[in-house]
Structure 1
């Protein structure tokens, strides 16, 4: 599909997580919403997100994590993005990003402190992310 809004996003599933179905759904929904999607797939280290964003001049990176270790896998990504010249890239994260039942407000605050622009609770529909992405990237 042709990139209708001129914005490019890198998506993938971080760390040792192999949950591919949600990743494909996110890819499809973003593509249908006019984004140029660079899908690095599953089992992706931080460096793969950064390299893809640098190589494609991405506007945003959307990190998925469903196996509960997102907090460990995601720590330091903002700093690495900044070092790679991606100071302006939007960082989004969502899924089951922590182990166990934790207070969502404290989880949200921890990820915001790590430099993520948007942090999504488990079960957040991709449409919410798309609305936020369009708002954050000034897409009408």
Structure 2
């Protein structure tokens, strides 16, 4: 099987670029084909990149607290675009204020996300989940 392709970016009006670059570097080094759409990215950019590259996963990052709003409807739009079943990951500071992460996770699962990460999650956790989700990924 070929390398898994992941679309990576920072959603909405968020311009936090450093974490995005670290994710790009680390995931690429782990043997995945990374399509980094950068910061300030609307849902449509993630979807278009995934369609164009036949991506296996979309990794959404958000640090400015509005991720929950920015991610609403993403799963449905992916399905409509022919991306039914694509793995959706989201992480960072995805909600405003201090909230019980178990409740936040439930809301994102209800929105159709497969992997939801709280602030401060290590890249090793994401890499472990990618390896679990794409066990046939070749270096």
TM-score bracket, shorter-length normalisation: over 0.9
- After alignment, is 127-136 or 38-47 more displaced? 127-136
Distance change in 2, residues 1:65/1:73 (3 Å): same
Deviation at 1:99? Answer: 0.2
Structure 2, unmatched stretches of 5+, are none
* Alpha-carbon distance, 1:40 to partner: 0.1
Unaligned runs of 5+ in 1: none
Q: Which runs of 4 or more aligned residues in structure 1 lie more than 4 Å from their structure 2 counterparts after TM superposition?
A: none
CA RMSD of aligned residues (A): 1.2
Does the CA contact (< 8 Å) of 1:10 and 1:62 recur in 2?
yes
After TM superposition, the score normalised by the length of structure 2 is 0.96
Normalising by the residue count of structure 1, what TM-score does the alignment of the two structures yield? 0.95
Structure ranking higher on relative contact order (CA contacts 8 Å, 6+ apart): 2
Equivalent in the alignment of 1:81: 78
2:105 counterpart of 1:117: no
For these two proteins, the number of residue pairs brought into alignment is 137
The structure richer in strand per residue is 2
